[in-house]
Amino acid sequence: MSDNEIWTEKYRPKRLDDIKGQGEIVKRLKAFVESKNMPHLLFAGPAGVGKTTAALALARELYGDKWEQNVLQLNASDDRGIDVIREKVKEFARTKPIGNVPFKIVFLDEADAMTRDAQQALRRIMEEYSSVTRFILACNYSSKIIEPIQSRTVIFRFKQLDKKDVFELLKSIAEKENLNISDDALEAIYYISEGDMRKSINILQAAALYSKDITPELIYEVTSIAKPQELQEVLKLAYEGKFAEAREKLIDLMIKYGLAGEDIIKYLSKEVYSMNIPEKEKLDIIYYAGEIEYRLLEGSDPIIQLGALLAYIGLRGLQNRK
Amino acid sequence: MVEPWIKKYAPKHINEIINQSEAIGKIKSFIEKYPNVNKKALLIYGPPGVGKTSSIYAIANDLNYEVVELNASDNRNARVIHEKLGEAIKGKPFFKKGRIILVDEVDGLAGFQDRGGVGALAKIIEESRWPVILTANDPWDPKFKKLRDLCDMVEFKKLSNYDIIRQLKRICANEKITIDDNVLSALADRSSGDLRSAINDLQALAMMSSHITLKDLEVLGYREREITIFKALGQMFKANTIMGATLPFADVDMDPEEIKAWVEENISNEYENIKEIYEAYNWLSLAVVFYGRIYKRQYWDLLKYFTTLMYAGVALAKEKRYNKFTKYRMPQYIRKLSQNKEIREKIEELSKNLQKKVHTSKHRVREVYINTLIVLMKENEKIGRKYAEILGFNENEISYIKGAVEKL
């Protein structure tokens, strides 16, 4: 019956108390529920650590089963244009909140995707409707939010989840779904998702479609990242000076897994640590990888930038052999 | 007047249709079982030039059916659709066993939806006593949702180079033309799976000579660009001065932004020493950074720095000139990458509902769910389908995703 649900939703914590790893924030949010009052909020933090979950749980506890009528969820990166947002907010704020809380909530996700001008306009919208609504803005980096908005909101910084928290959550899901999950498999999920719970749970669900026994091999099988071995192979070829082969292989990986240059260079530089070469060599390569990641941001064109990195690794290999 | 070969060599019988047996089976059984069918119409989709329309005629011919066609050249608002097809869907043919109502290229007409076209078609499908078949290149446009729901979907696959070459050879034999094998594969390459365009090209070449060589391809216009860029690359890689490296590109009718991919593709093709390769790449990489700045500021006066760093940086990276013949390649990955991107974007278009359900942005939906969906579909169809169901895609959408993923 329940096996047709999306687990990231099924296991999304419904109550503030169920949210893991964000203790201080939860405490403050509960105080808002208690007093049925809150300021505008700005949730900052990486993806998949509970920002949306916290906003939804807060709404649930404030409004009970009427929460959906009292919350407008918008996405700054999708709802193109500030006018669209203004229209939607206006429409939403026209009616009174249902229940005994004196305001409604507008949850605006990915607010840092907005341009500065759009943020200025947003600020005015927030002021216009502040008597009947409270805004919760979510973003990855609060530094990308303009000062006037920052000063009008209370900023909550969500922490990256600890490995311990992620493991605990995954284990409890595994138990409820009758899965056997090895510690290595948990490590593999963490390696791929880097503490992003949405990714972690989704990977677990995908793997569980294959088997009740979750192994690291299975985890890599169901994720769209190049396996560490494949990346090691690229680095090894490059270090041995087999540039053309390394390049070919890298392009194949990008196409096979649909990876952007930025993803590839992140995975590659992570793999440099485990290369079988002197530590000082690694440091040089990591420095150049950083330079290349920067150039990628400035000028794009992943094939050229990554080609330069592979060639540099080849050059280091050559000098080391001499 | 010369008969167009695409007409002359269109399949007359089912067994002459190339490599679409699965689709043909479905269409044939739909026509024969009609009206005892799952959905009352078929929507046939696939890239241009793979035989969608001609197959219908071949099938009709073999089954002794007639075809009543409404095509892109007809105006297709509600009134026209009703006038042209209103009678056909009711009456009986005089000489044939049955009738097929064919609405060709439903996606071909702008504004079709606004003028009641979709509604009128839906009515035709509902009331017809004969099988209705629609064709489209891209049926996934949201405005066709209503039509999709009324139809069973049948996909026509892109043809392989092998399929195309085989067919061109058959035509050449019949027309008594001799043709070099490399011309055949060049024509097939160009067509990217579109047999109609390949046959058209072949006929154009055959009008000039009965022995076709690679040289003749220039006439079709599309070789020239490549010949000049190959020449320029050759001169650049051999050059020892900045001027010598940059001048050859003056005659190339291509944007420097496009040329950079050609340069990149051929660095390790020309240079053999890793030190040279590194130096060439490092210059190219810096040049691209420069280009990024120019682009951001729209400061095109600075473009000369980009091109100089690129051409001269790569040329002067060598320790000494290679005295060898290098066969330069055209960039391979660009086409692959952009094709990849296009397919992914189509799949994402279908995921609006999912986005709401999981409370997040398009970007995150792609990163987390769509990527997983693609991987699962590729690895194991059964599991991929199961996962797609969980995400809430319907059957038509799942079949489309399956097909799209195969092309990745």
Can you read off the two tokens belonging to residue B337?
Answer: 């990458």
**Range of lowest pLDDT (A3-12, B19-28, B158-167, B328-337):** B328-337
- The full DSSP string for B41-104 is EEEEE-STTSSHHHHHHHHHHHHTEEEEEE-TTS--SHHHHHHHHTTTTTS--SSSSEEEEEE-
* Chain B from 287 to 326: CB within 8 A of any A CB: 288-293
Q: Which residue has the higher pLDDT, B332 or B224?
A: B332
Alpha-carbon gap, residue B32 to B17, rounded angstroms: 19
Token look-up 């058959």 returns B170
pLDDT for position B219: 65
Q: List the single residue in B with minimal CA-CA distance to A201.
A: B368
**ipTM surpasses cut 0.85:** no
Alpha-carbon gap, residue B141 to B401, rounded angstroms: 14
Q: Is the CB of residue B380 less than 8 Å away from at least one CB of chain A?
A: yes
Torsion of CA B348, B353, B358, B363, to 10 degrees: 30
Look-up: residue for tokens 């069918």?
A: B37
- Would you call B333 and A303 a contact, using CB atoms and an 8 Å cutoff? yes
Query: If we measure between CA atoms, which residue out of B42, B43, B56 comes closest to residue B131?
Result: B42
In this prediction, residue B124 carries a pLDDT of: 87
Q: Is A172 on the interface with B (CB under 8 A)?
A: no
What are the backbone angles phi and psi of residue A180, rounded to the nearest 5°? -105, 120
Averaged pLDDT, B209-221: 74
Out of B333, B376, B390, name the one closest to residue A4 (CB). B390
Angle (CA) B4 B156 B392, round 5°: 150
Asked if the Cβ–Cβ distance from A258 to B292 is below 8 Å, we say no
Rg of chain A in Å (alpha carbons): 23
Chain B residue nearest residue A312, CA to CA: B278
Amino acid at B287: A
Distance from CA of A83 to the nearest CA of B (A): 18
**What secondary structure does DSSP assign to A243-290, as a single string?**
HHHHHHHHHHHHHHHT--HHHHHHHHHHHHTTSSS-HHHHHHHHHHHH
Q: Which helix (H) or strand (E) holds B144?
A: none
Instruction: Quote the minimal CA–CA distance from A309 to chain B in Å.
Output: 8
The C-alpha atoms of residue A4 and residue B330 are separated, in whole angstroms, by: 47
Closest by Cα among A301, A304, A223 to A256: A223
Q: Which helix (H) or strand (E) holds A43?
A: strand A41-44
pLDDT band at B173 (very low <50, low <70, confident <90, very high): very high
Residues 250-279 of A with CB under 8 A from B: 251, 254-255, 257-258
Average pLDDT over residues B199-219: 79
Mean pLDDT, chain A, as a whole number?
89
> Do B375 and A254 make contact, defined as CB atoms within 8 angstroms?
no
Inter-residue contact A54 to A29 (CB < 8 Å): yes
**Report field, pTM of the whole predicted structure over 0.80:** no
At A291, the pLDDT band (50, 70, 90 cuts) reads very high
Considering A77-81, A113-117, B305-309, B399-403, the range whose residues carry the highest mean pLDDT is: B305-309
Q: What is the pLDDT of residue A264?
A: 87
* Residues sharing a CB contact under 8 Å with residue B10, sequence separation 6 or more, in sequence order: B54, B57, B58
End-to-end Cα distance, chain B: 43
As a whole-number percent, the residues of chain A with pLDDT over 70 amount to: 98
Band of pLDDT at residue A2, cut at 50, 70 and 90: very low
Which one-letter amino acid corresponds to residue B33? K
Q: Spell out which residues of chain A touch residue B360, defining contact as CB-CB under 8 Å.
A: 52, 75, 109, 198
| B46 Ramachandran zone, left/alpha/beta (phi>0; psi -120 to 50) | left
Q: Measure the CA–CA gap between B46 and B222, rounded to whole angstroms.
A: 25
Q: Which residues of A touch B383 (CB under 8 A)?
A: 209-210
How many other CB atoms are there within 10 angstroms of residue A294's CB atom? 12
Residue-level pLDDT at B94: 82
Region of B221 on the Ramachandran plot (φ > 0 left; ψ -120 to 50 alpha; else beta): left
pLDDT digits (tens, 9 = 90+) for B119-137: 888 888 988 999 999 998 8
Helix (H) or strand (E) holding A115: none
Task: State the Cα angle at B54 between B49 and B55, rounded to 5°.
Answer: 105
pLDDT digits 0-9 by tens, B235-269 = 899 888 999 999 999 888 788 988 999 999 999 99
What is residue A257's predicted lDDT score, i.e. its pLDDT?
75
* Cα B285 from Cα A299, distance rounded (Å): 8
